[in-house]
């Protein structure tokens, strides 16, 4: 199916969507970047039919518009594009927090286009268009977060779009999304950063002795701080709840340092759960 895809924001995710879409014949791709030098860099890469810093030139006539900017910048951008959209255009986003974002964007775009929130569970500690890749989404979950105002055809079209770029699509309500992603993404990020800062405070010389396990567990702490600050603080209630549950469980495991049998049970249970995770590319 030939579609006009407008990607707003030329970061890791936006540029990877462009590269992934180009694997499918007949897609026409337009990318908007705010900064002129990024527009030049993207034009030099020849990865889209249109690259511009003018929103109207990018979104006019688009079948699908994907907001790939930080969540705090999304409402303004949605307001700016609303008047230029076809009423049957599908607008979606890649924000890591959904309840507040979906409420705002749904309301801003009502009557101007069809909106469905989405969150592809893909990414990297690296950022910017230079780190993008065509296979970033292959086999990764994309969570769609319809609300009570979402039309069924919009959900179908959003599903088709994310499957086209390589994702496996699952659906949650915005609130369920935020609780679940607090556990499997936001809390892990906070733990990685906290572990690094704990080591730095206790004994900075310890960094020189790390092995591959420490690299793995701290990898996400290499992600962009401003973006993660916005995500963690926007989803603060769910993040706080999951962090408090984690502290409680840590207190429990500390008591098991004196009791080998239950410690072994605790670790055995964790391993069994971890072994059942759907593999992602880095595991194979």
Place of tokens 């950063």: 193
Q: To the nearest whole angstrom, how small is the minimum distance from the Cβ of residue 222 to its own copies? A: 5
**CB 193, min distance to its own copies, A:** 4
| C-alpha to C-alpha distance for 81 and 278, rounded to whole angstroms | 38
Locate 247 and state its tokens: 């502290």
Contact indicator for 96, 119 with CB cutoff of 8 Å: yes
Within 13 A of 4's CA, how many CA atoms are on the CB side? 14
The residue (of 17 and 33) whose beta carbon lies closer to its own copies is 17
Touching its own copies, residues 25-54 (CB under 8 A): none
Interacting residues with its own copies between 184 and 213 (CB under 8 A): 184-185, 187-203, 205-213
What minimum distance in Å lies between the beta carbon of 255 and its own copies? 9
Residue of 76, 107, 156, 280 that binds its own copies (CB under 8 A): 280
CB 66 within 8 A of CB 113: no
Residue 142's beta-bridge partner residues?
120, 169
Q: Select 30 or 190, whichever has its Cβ closest to its own copies.
A: 190
- CB of residue 153 vs its own copies: minimum separation in angstroms? 25
| Smaller CB separation from its own copies, 34 or 219 | 219
Lookup result for tokens 């990020």: 189
Indicate the residue among 151 and 267 with the shorter CB distance to its own copies.
267
**What distance in Å separates the CA atoms of residue 214 and residue 190, rounded to the nearest whole number?**
15
**Minimum CB–partner distance for residue 121 and its own copies (Å):** 3
Q: Identify which of 176, 186, 113 has the alpha carbon closest to the alpha carbon of residue 147.
A: 176
Q: Of the listed pieces 63-71, 109-117, 147-155, 183-191, which binds its own copies according to CB under 8 A? A: 183-191
Asked whether position 181 contacts its own copies by CB under 8 A, the answer is yes
Instruction: Report the site for its own copies in 55-74 (rule: CB under 8 A).
Output: none
DSSP-based three-state secondary structure for 248: helix
State the nearest-atom distance from the C-beta of 221 to its own copies, in Å.
5
* C-alpha–C-alpha distance, residues 242 and 219, integer Å: 20
- Quickly count helices (H) and strands (E) in the chain: 12, 9
The total of other beta-carbon atoms located within 10 Å of residue 211's CB is: 7
Residues of this chain, 158-177, that bind its own copies according to CB under 8 A: 170, 172
CB nearer to its own copies: give 50 or 246.
246
Q: Which of residues 214-273 bind its own copies (CB under 8 A)?
A: 214-226, 228-230, 232-233, 236, 239-247, 249-251, 253-254, 257-258, 260, 263-264, 266-271, 273
Which residues inside 90-149 make contact with its own copies, applying CB under 8 A? 121-124, 140-141, 143
Answer whether 154's CB lies under 8 Å from 90's CB: yes
Nearer to its own copies, 23 or 249 (CB): 249
State the Cα–Cα distance between residues 193 and 232, nearest whole angstrom. 12
To its own copies, the closest distance from the beta carbon of 94 in angstroms equals 12
Tokens coding 239: 């993040």
Nearer to its own copies, 112 or 218 (CB): 218
d(CA 87, CA 63): 10
């Amino acid at each position: 199916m030939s579609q006009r895809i407008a990607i707003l924001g030329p970061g890791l995710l936006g540029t990877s969507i462009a590269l992934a879409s180009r694997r499918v014949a007949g897609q026409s791709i337009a990318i908007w970047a705010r900064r002129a030098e990024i527009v030049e860099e993207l034009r030099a890469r020849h990865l889209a039919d249109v690259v511009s810093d003018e929103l109207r030139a990018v979104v006019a006539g688009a079948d699908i518009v994907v907001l790939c900017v930080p969540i705090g910048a999304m409402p303004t951008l949605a307001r700016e594009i609303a008047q230029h959209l076809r009423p049957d255009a599908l607008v979606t986003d890649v924000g890591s927090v959904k309840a507040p974002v979906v409420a705002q964007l749904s309301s801003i775009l009502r009557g101007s286009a069809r909106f469905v929130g989405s969150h592809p569970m893909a990414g990297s500690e690296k950022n910017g268009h230079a780190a993008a890749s065509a296979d970033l989404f292959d086999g990764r979950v994309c969570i769609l977060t319809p609300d009570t105002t979402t039309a069924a055809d919009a959900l179908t079209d959003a599903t088709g779009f994310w499957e086209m770029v390589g994702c496996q699509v699952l659906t949650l309500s915005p609130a369920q999304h935020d609780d679940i992603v607090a556990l499997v993404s936001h809390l892990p990020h906070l733990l990685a950063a906290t572990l690094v800062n704990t080591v730095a405070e206790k004994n900075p010389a310890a960094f020189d002795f790390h092995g591959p396990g420490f690299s793995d567990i701290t990898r996400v702490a290499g992600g962009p701080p401003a973006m993660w600050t916005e995500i963690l603080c926007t989803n603060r209630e769910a993040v706080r709840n999951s962090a408090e549950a984690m502290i409680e469980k840590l207190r429990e495991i500390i008591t098991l340092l004196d009791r080998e049998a239950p410690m072994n049970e605790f670790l055995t249970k964790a391993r069994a759960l971890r072994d059942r995770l759907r593999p992602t590319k880095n595991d194979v």
